[in-house]
Chain A
């Protein structure tokens, strides 16, 4: 469903990605782990168009999307829940969710009725958001904002969803809740690429995983295989 081939990207003269290759098959959850600065978030941004790759290919459902604007890639079915959540603070919770479905809703009127089923689905997944539909997103707690960011990405009914550091800066209890949510998304058959600091928890939910080092994939395999790899064990799962 999502294929990344020999991706190079960076900021100005410094190249962060030096040939990343990975595949996310339909209906699977793939984890991308690695140390800080290895290029995980840069990979996500280069896939979703926030950063233009200098070389390499990104195929979404077989179609080449590298170099397109982020908004265009989003309309083609890629939802990216970015690092740091990036909810629209001044807007209400419900407006944030509606904007998640922006590309397939009417622009002026009647959008609410058309999005009702999707809204209900997100509120069933995150009942705490249902109590706060009118509240502005900036006033939510970190955990609630993360739920909102995931819900907003779900609203797009994406072909592939990128989840960047969903546990960042959250209390341990909330982190567990986030992982329960990720497990539910997986059960619903959503195709997911997950970037995580908590490598152990990520490997528990993933079908397949890539380990990044210095801008490229160093090791890959199923969580069981990685669990037997001594280098990975020492560096990330200790």
Chain B
């Protein structure tokens, strides 16, 4: 048990954990406006990563590929909203759960047919050579995950606080009917949240793929942990998902180092069960009081 190794494992795990946090943040965005989440979010991450890989292979430089990937993610988010979620919400039903899963499966088959079943490397100009910071080695690639995650979350939070459209987003989250009375279209706001959530998912794919490779099945590992993070942190705290995501990432990396790689999935599931048993509203979540 060497303190330096523990530190090293914890830091690189925590950086990976930020990817879970980012996907969980995507859940929060749509849950805020519509009380629905996209259960096919993992497939959105995957298909956007494949699309970005294609852009790269077509010769687009990294800095042109990223916005292209984000735009594609936003479009796919809108597809999920229009083809699945809206139909269910208009009926005031919970059908969005199944519909979003089905659209996810559709994305999965589409990806297998278009890009094949194999995992592929995702080229990036960001170097994977370690640099030494405060006694631990981190690669620029890992740091780019942190930069990307904080940049997009920071931008979206700024948008929500500083622009009138963002305040309208918050108003719909607080009281949909009252927001409608102000002339704010809740339908459009829900669309906006799905678009943002889609581009957040795309960025998660672009950031994680150079480290893990891209493949049709990359979604399942990511999404389970993103769910754990969202459930543990609650669906209304952006700050919470970052902390829980980093914590889970660190825990995972330590578990697989000390207990063997088979234990890698264990911390996420244990956290999920504990959270559901002890704090169903999330560690950072506010208690939701339902008025009857």
A positions within 8 Å CB-CB of B: 48-50, 69-72, 74-75, 79-80, 82, 86-91, 95, 98-100, 102-103, 105-109, 111, 152, 156
- Ranked nearest first, the 8 interchain pairs of A and B with the lowest CB-CB distance are A103-B183, A74-B183, A70-B180, A86-B178, A107-B165, A88-B174, A71-B185, A111-B164
Interface pair A71/B186, CB less than 8 Å apart: yes
CB-defined contacts of B185 to chain A, threshold 8 Å: 69, 71-72
CB-defined contacts of A156 to chain B, threshold 8 Å: 182-183
A48 to B165, CA, bound (A): 22
Interface pair A108/B163, CB less than 8 Å apart: yes
CB-defined contacts of B168 to chain A, threshold 8 Å: 99, 102, 107
Pick the contact of B163: A48, A50, A90, A109 (CB < 8 A). A109
CB-defined contacts of B179 to chain A, threshold 8 Å: 71, 88, 99
Pick the contact of B175: A70, A86, A95, A102 (CB < 8 A). A86
Interface pair B184/A99, CB less than 8 Å apart: yes
Instruction: Check B35 for interface membership: any CB of A closer than 8 A.
Output: no
A21 to B99, CA, bound (A): 43
Interface pair A95/B181, CB less than 8 Å apart: no
CB-defined contacts of A48 to chain B, threshold 8 Å: 181
Which of B164, B167, B175 gathers most chain A CB within 10 Å?
Answer: B164
CB-defined contacts of A107 to chain B, threshold 8 Å: 163-165, 168
Which of B162, B175, B186 gathers most chain A CB within 10 Å?
Answer: B175
Pick the contact of A99: B162, B167, B173 (CB < 8 A). B167
A105 to B175, CA, bound (A): 20
Interface pair A108/B175, CB less than 8 Å apart: no
Interface pair A69/B164, CB less than 8 Å apart: no
Interface pair A98/B174, CB less than 8 Å apart: no
CB-defined contacts of B173 to chain A, threshold 8 Å: 90
CB-defined contacts of B182 to chain A, threshold 8 Å: 71, 74, 99-100, 102-103, 152, 156
A88 to B174, CA, bound (A): 6
Instruction: Check B157 for interface membership: any CB of A closer than 8 A.
Output: no
Instruction: Check B171 for interface membership: any CB of A closer than 8 A.
Output: yes
Interface pair B164/A98, CB less than 8 Å apart: yes
CB-defined contacts of B180 to chain A, threshold 8 Å: 49-50, 69-71, 74
CB-defined contacts of B265 to chain A, threshold 8 Å: none
CB distance from A2 to the nearest CB of B (A): 15
CB distance from A140 to the nearest CB of B (A): 14
Instruction: Check B94 for interface membership: any CB of A closer than 8 A.
Output: no
Interface pair B163/A102, CB less than 8 Å apart: no
- Measured CB to CB, the nearest residue on chain B to A79 is B181
CB distance from A94 to the nearest CB of B (A): 10
Interface pair A74/B167, CB less than 8 Å apart: no
CB distance from B132 to the nearest CB of A (A): 42
CB-defined contacts of B118 to chain A, threshold 8 Å: none
Which of A48, A86, A109, A152 gathers most chain B CB within 10 Å?
Answer: A86
B positions within 8 Å CB-CB of A: 162-165, 167-168, 170-171, 173-175, 177-187
A80 to B181, CA, bound (A): 6
CB distance from B92 to the nearest CB of A (A): 11
CB-defined contacts of B181 to chain A, threshold 8 Å: 48, 50, 70-71, 74, 79-80, 82, 86
Other A-B pairs beyond A50-B181, A75-B183, A100-B182, 16, CB < 8 Å: A48-B181, A50-B180, A71-B184, A74-B180, A82-B177, A82-B181, A86-B178, A98-B164, A99-B182, A102-B183, A103-B182, A107-B165, A109-B162, A111-B164, A152-B182, A156-B183
Pick the contact of A50: B167, B171, B177, B187 (CB < 8 A). B177
CB distance from B188 to the nearest CB of A (A): 8
Pick the contact of A108: B164, B170, B171, B187 (CB < 8 A). B164
CB distance from A157 to the nearest CB of B (A): 12
Which of B165, B178, B185 gathers most chain A CB within 10 Å?
Answer: B178
A69 to B181, CA, bound (A): 9
Interface pair B167/A91, CB less than 8 Å apart: yes
CB-defined contacts of B178 to chain A, threshold 8 Å: 82, 86-88
CB-defined contacts of A108 to chain B, threshold 8 Å: 163-165
Q: List 7 A-B contacts (CB under 8 A).
A: A50-B180, A50-B181, A72-B185, A82-B181, A95-B170, A107-B164, A108-B163
A69 to B178, CA, bound (A): 13
CB-defined contacts of B164 to chain A, threshold 8 Å: 98-99, 102, 105-108, 111
CB-defined contacts of B170 to chain A, threshold 8 Å: 88, 90-91, 95
CB-defined contacts of B163 to chain A, threshold 8 Å: 107-109
- Measured CB to CB, the nearest residue on chain B to A77 is B183
CB distance from A89 to the nearest CB of B (A): 6
CB-defined contacts of B171 to chain A, threshold 8 Å: 88, 91, 99
A164 to B178, CA, bound (A): 13
A105 to B167, CA, bound (A): 12
Which of A87, A89, A102, A106 gathers most chain B CB within 10 Å?
Answer: A102
A82 to B176, CA, bound (A): 13
CB distance from A60 to the nearest CB of B (A): 13
